[in-house]
Amino acid sequence: MADSAVGIREVRRDTLRTRVYEQLRSAIMRGSFEPGQALTVRGLAEAFGTSPTPVREALQQLTAENALAAEPNKSYRVPLMTGERFVDLRDVRAALEGLAARKATRVITEAQIRKLEQINERMLRAIAKKDKKGYLATNELFHFGIYEAAQAPILLQTIRSLWIQIGPTLNVLFNDINVVEGLNDYHAAALQALRDGDEEAAARAISQDILAAGAFIEKETTE
């Protein structure tokens, strides 16, 4: 009986840790935290309404995934992005996410395309309102709506591991609202390609979206 009770507590604890980890990972990917921002176990535990333990374990896991950096005072920080690392991430993302778009084109359903169109409409409204966080959240939903449709779990996992490293840096896009507005042309092109079943056009639209955004971010962060 005692062994059974211990097992139940361990499952519940693991579930809580997973929930905290997934919510933090999603927040990082969507640019909810800025580069250089400090995160504390206590502050996050209060926000989640949990004990410090699952938060600490989630932060340690994200640190192992290069999404966060551990500080000497037992806090954590969203790392600043170096130019060299950013370019490397950008180029790998363009290749892999273009591949995911190509794969998605082969199997995506009408319902999934309609959902992407609805997300894109929400993104346009966020742009019109100059709502940075709303834009970044819907941008992440749009991209991963395509990648999840590709039915390629290893590729999806790899792309996600890159986004948790790049997500905070995407905040830089709102340094120029005209750039953000222009990037949506690539989303429109991707949607049209998905409807047409044009693998090459879908891959090209997504890759160009990443490269164009990356060129602006690189310029803004290195000058």
Whole domain around residue 46: which residue ranges?
A: 2-77
Residue 46 sits in the same domain as residue 118: no
pLDDT at 3 over 80: no
The larger pLDDT score, comparing residue 2 to residue 170, is at 170
Domain count, the chain: 2
Average pLDDT over residues 213-219: 91
Q: How many helices (H) and strands (E) does the chain have?
A: 9, 3
- pLDDT tier, 5 (very low <50, low <70, confident <90, very high otherwise): very low
Task: Tell me which range, 29-33, 106-110, 134-138, 172-176, is most confidently predicted by mean pLDDT.
Answer: 106-110
pLDDT of amino acid 192? 98
How far is Cα 182 from Cα 91, in angstroms, rounded to an integer?
20
Residue 30 sits in a domain of what CATH number?
1.10.10.10
Residue 10 sits in the same domain as residue 51: yes
Residue 155 sits in the same domain as residue 124: yes
How far is Cα 89 from Cα 40, in angstroms, rounded to an integer?
27
Domain boundary among 56, 77, 98: 77
The CA distances from residue 118 to 54, 124, 133, 139, 145, in Å, are 35, 10, 18, 12, 11
Residue 128 sits in a domain of what CATH number?
1.20.120.530
- pLDDT tier, 10 (very low <50, low <70, confident <90, very high otherwise): very low
Report which of 41, 43, 40 is spatially closest to residue 54, judged by C-alpha positions: 41
pLDDT at 222 over 70: no
- 77 forms beta bridges with 38, 69
Per-residue pLDDT tens digits for 145-155:
999 999 999 99
Q: Are 100 and 159 in contact (CB under 8 A)?
A: yes
Model pTM score:
0.85
Per-residue pLDDT tens digits for 51-90:
999 999 999 999 999 899 998 887 899 998 888 999 999 9
Residue 94 sits in the same domain as residue 192: yes
pLDDT of amino acid 12? 52
Residue 175 sits in the same domain as residue 160: yes
Residue 56 sits in the same domain as residue 39: yes
Per-residue pLDDT tens digits for 203-215:
999 999 999 999 9
Residue 88 sits in the same domain as residue 198: yes
pLDDT at 44 over 50: yes
pLDDT of amino acid 136? 93
In the block, which residue shows the tokens 């990917």? 29
The DSSP code sequence of 11-47 is HHHHHHHHHHHHHHHHHHHTT-S-TT-EE-HHHHHHH
How far is Cα 213 from Cα 192, in angstroms, rounded to an integer?
20
Residue 140 sits in the same domain as residue 199: yes
Residue 59 sits in the same domain as residue 159: no
pLDDT of amino acid 111? 98
